[in-house]
């Protein structure tokens, strides 16, 4: 008599659900369980001191969170996503969680709550909603040989990974838009459709982890590090966003004003430009972020608003008016300073909070830089971004508005992590610094 079960097929695996948060170092972390055991009210334990784990993977000393205390990972069911179709990997459901105290109240240092509260404020205080999307650049650091920018051959060299990525994202409901070979050596870019702010940041996290998973599954290595080796093209994380009223009508467009920006959008932009230097510690949080944030890199070294200018911290994006298409609903901003070290919830939460500060103070539209940047002449006076991580941390501390957005314990933890990271990385050569972050990100 034949034994039950087949010998030639793999045993059926129980599908797992990963209950995830993304930490101060923008790494996705969490705990898993059998999907079949997961209930709508399930929550899992978490440890406050985990916040003290920086990019280099250890808990630093002298942070406010110690060996005591407990939190819960409280899943947000609307974020539930099933990832399927990665060769050699079983399907996985991921759900993002807010970090709450054991009585269910929001934890003071939860990065996802930081964004959600900003979204609520934007709606309740200003009647504004926003749709956003994150654009990611990364490098296939395992690829050999030439890479011609934007070429079909570079695109084909990444197959079947590119097609796999687009299919997995699509099936997971993450609405991929474009997949392209970029300018840098073995550099690629993946974009997804805009959605509401929290879901957009959740998407950003999933995109990175799906890219890693696909590359690893194919024995290749992807890195989103801001600069993978000295002299190489940078990898940016660009955040696109618009501002709408409660009915989804644009609040950005005004054909009569400079840059076609409404007064409201101008104030919003002014808040971001003004607080840009102080936010750098969190949007460009790695020692090597500042190799990328330099002139002529199509990233940015100055905090300014630019019309279709890729060196602007905040860019007014072009509109497609082919065949008489209406530009009004299309006009939106792109925040270009950020990189992979930034936690997407915190990054977007800061952009919205800075914009709201501009609205509260009724700031005037900042100067809109048109044409090429002229740092030796016309544009010499534009505010500088910090030149390194240490200066960025000092600038953050001096800006009471930006530092006031965070709990004192979060700020103290962040500073301790980043000063420790800067000291340990700075002792190495630039090539080694790039190498360290390339392995982490």
Interface with Mg ion (CB under 5 A): 189
C-beta of 163 vs 183, nearer to Mg ion: 183
User: Which partner in Mg ion, ligand GLU, none is near 140 (CB below 5 to 8 A by kind)?
Assistant: none
d(CA 165, CA 159): 10
Nearest in space to 37 (alpha carbons), one of 16, 57, 51: 16
Report strand pairing: 92-101 vs 16-22.
parallel
- Tell me the residue number closest to ligand GLU, measured at CB: 236
User: Which partner in Mg ion, ligand GLU, none is near 292 (CB below 5 to 8 A by kind)?
Assistant: ligand GLU
CB of 318 to Mg ion, least distance (A): 14
> Cα 322 to chain center, whole Å?
31
Residues between 222 and 251 that touch ligand GLU (CB under 6 A) = 233-236
CB of 336 to ligand GLU, least distance (A): 6
C-beta of 20 vs 237, nearer to Mg ion: 237
C-beta of 188 vs 345, nearer to ligand GLU: 188
C-beta of 299 vs 365, nearer to ligand GLU: 299
User: Which partner in ligand GLU, Mg ion, none is near 29 (CB below 5 to 8 A by kind)?
Assistant: none
Rg (CA), the chain: 22
CB of 182 to ligand GLU, least distance (A): 7
Helices (H) and strands (E) in the chain, counts: 11, 16
Q: Of residues 171, 257, 310, 419, which one binds ligand GLU by CB under 6 A? A: 310
List the structure tokens of 302: 């100055």
C-beta of 189 vs 339, nearer to Mg ion: 189
Angstrom distances, CA of residue 318 to CA of 2, 223, 301: 68, 29, 22
> With contact defined as beta carbons under 8 Å apart, do 316 and 307 qualify?
yes
CB of 226 to ligand GLU, least distance (A): 7
Following DSSP, what letter does each residue of 284-297 receive, concatenated? Answer: S-STTHHHHSSTTT
Nearest in space to 205 (alpha carbons), one of 237, 159, 240, 242: 237
CB of 251 to Mg ion, least distance (A): 27
Work out whether 276 is an interface residue with ligand GLU (CB under 6 A). no
Interaction pattern, residues 128-147, with ligand GLU; x per rule: CB under 6 A: ---------x----------
User: Which partner in ligand GLU, Mg ion, none is near 121 (CB below 5 to 8 A by kind)?
Assistant: none
C-beta of 148 vs 249, nearer to ligand GLU: 148
CB of 174 to ligand GLU, least distance (A): 20
Work out whether 298 is an interface residue with ligand GLU (CB under 6 A). yes
d(CA 386, CA 217): 38
Around 227, how many Cα atoms within 13 Å sit in the side-chain half-sphere?
23
C-beta of 340 vs 346, nearer to ligand GLU: 340
CB of 423 to Mg ion, least distance (A): 32
Interaction pattern, residues 330-369, with ligand GLU; x per rule: CB under 6 A: ------x---------------------------------
Backbone phi, psi, residue 24, to 5° = -60, -30
Please tell me the count of residues contacting ligand GLU according to CB under 6 A.
11
- Residue 388, classified by CB atoms within 10 Å of its CB into exposed (0-12), middle (13-18) or buried (19+), is middle
Around 376, how many Cα atoms within 13 Å sit in the side-chain half-sphere?
0
d(CA 331, CA 175): 21
Work out whether 212 is an interface residue with ligand GLU (CB under 6 A). no
Is residue 138 classed as helix, strand or coil in its secondary structure? Answer: strand
Residues in contact with ligand GLU by the rule CB under 6 A: 137, 233-236, 292, 297-299, 310, 336
């Amino acid at each position: 008599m034949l034994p039950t079960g087949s010998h030639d097929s793999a045993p059926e695996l129980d599908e797992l659900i990963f209950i995830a948060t993304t930490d101060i170092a923008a790494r996705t972390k969490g705990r898993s369980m059998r999907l079949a055991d997961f209930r709508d009210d399930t929550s899992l334990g978490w440890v406050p001191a985990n916040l003290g784990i920086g990019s280099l993977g250890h808990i630093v000393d002298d942070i406010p969170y110690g060996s005591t205390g407990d939190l819960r990972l409280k899943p947000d069911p609307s974020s539930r996503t099933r990832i399927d179709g990665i060769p050699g990997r079983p399907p996985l459901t991921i759900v993002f969680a807010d970090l709450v105290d054991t009585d269910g109240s929001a934890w003071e240092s939860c990065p996802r709550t930081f964004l959600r509260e900003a979204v609520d404020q934007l709606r309740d205080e200003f009647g504004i909603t926003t749709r956003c999307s994150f654009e990611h650049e990364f490098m296939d650091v395992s690829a050999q040989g030439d890479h011609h920018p934007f070429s079909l051959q570079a695109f084909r060299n990444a197959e079947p990974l590119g097609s796999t990525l687009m299919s997995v994202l699509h099936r997971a409901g993450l609405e991929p838009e474009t997949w392209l070979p970029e300018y840098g050596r073995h550099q690629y870019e993946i974009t997804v459709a805009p959605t509401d702010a929290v879901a957009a940041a959740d998407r950003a996290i999933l995109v990175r982890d799906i890219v890693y998973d696909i590359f690893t599954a194919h024995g290749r290595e992807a890195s989103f590090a801001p600069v993978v080796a000295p002299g190489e093209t940078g990898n940016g994380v660009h955040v696109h966003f618009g501002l709408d009223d409660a009915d989804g009508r644009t609040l950005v467009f005004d054909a009569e004003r400079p840059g076609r920006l409404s007064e409201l959008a101008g104030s919003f932009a002014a808040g971001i430009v003004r607080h840009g230097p102080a936010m750098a510690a969190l949007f460009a949080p790695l020692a090597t972020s500042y190799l990328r944030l330099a002139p002529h890199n199509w990233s940015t070294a100055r905090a300014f608003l630019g019309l279709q200018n890729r060196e602007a911290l905040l860019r007014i994006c072009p509109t497609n008016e082919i065949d008489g298409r209406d530009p009004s609903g299309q006009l939106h901003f792109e925040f270009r300073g950020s990189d992979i070290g930034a936690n997407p919830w915190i990054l977007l939460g800061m952009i919205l909070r800075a914009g709201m500060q501009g609205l509260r103070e009724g700031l005037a539209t900042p100067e809109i830089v048109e044409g090429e940047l002229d740092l030796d002449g016309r544009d010499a006076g534009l505010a500088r971004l910090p030149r390194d991580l240490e200066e960025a941390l000092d600038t953050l501390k001096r800006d009471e508005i930006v530092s006031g957005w965070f709990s004192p314990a979060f700020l103290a933890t962040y500073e301790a992590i980043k000063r420790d990271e800067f000291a340990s990385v700075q002792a190495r050569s630039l090539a080694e610094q790039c190498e360290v972050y390339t392995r982490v990100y």
